[in-house]
Amino acid sequence: MKPQHYLLSAALMFSAGSAMADMAKNPISVHVLNLQTGVPTAGVNVELDQQSGNQWVKLSEATTDAQGRIPALYPAGKAAQTGTYRVVFKTGDYFKSTGQPTFFPEIPVIFTLDKTVQHYHIPLLLSQYGYSTYRGN
């Protein structure tokens, strides 16, 4: 292998490792896939809320990238806390922007963050009239 290839390989591995390290530091990520088209869904606004008593406190908001992902949804620089959280996928806004109707204008996914050292990945499989979600990795 030529020296340039070693340098390129090392740079790519460092870059991928760095992205993985950043994701591991942030406890919450999401991914949206369109079941109708089979492709990632870019442009979906997602809100992260934390339950405080009987109220929800907004912690952050972001938009899915070209791969349908938000790799770091938890607020940067804030230590993860155990508790009940809600990820709200703003699907109505997304479908309106594409000129399509939808039955679900928002999809709230409520979950418990019970270990602050683990990563919580919340994928959403989406169509205009249905959805599915689960705890990913």
Which domains, and CATH codes, for the chain? 27-133 (2.60.40.180)
What are the helix (H) ranges across the chain? Answer: 3-25, 91-97
pLDDT digits (tens, 9 = 90+) for 42-55: 999 999 999 999 99
Report the pLDDT value the prediction gives residue 103, as an integer from 0 to 100.
97
> Which residues, listed in sequence order, are joined to residue 51 by a DSSP beta bridge?
56
Could you tell me which of 96, 47, 37, 97 has the C-alpha nearest to residue 70?
47
Known binding-site residues for substrate equal 31, 69, 134
Cα–Cα distance, 134 to 137 (Å, whole number) = 10
pLDDT in tens, 70-108: 999 999 988 899 999 999 999 999 999 999 999 999 999
Start-to-end Cα distance in the chain: 34
Whole-model pTM over 0.75:
yes
Q: Measure the CA angle with vertex 46, ends 45 and 47; round to 5°.
A: 130
Binding-site annotation, residues: 31, 69, 134
pLDDT digits (tens, 9 = 90+) for 110-128: 999 998 888 999 999 999 9
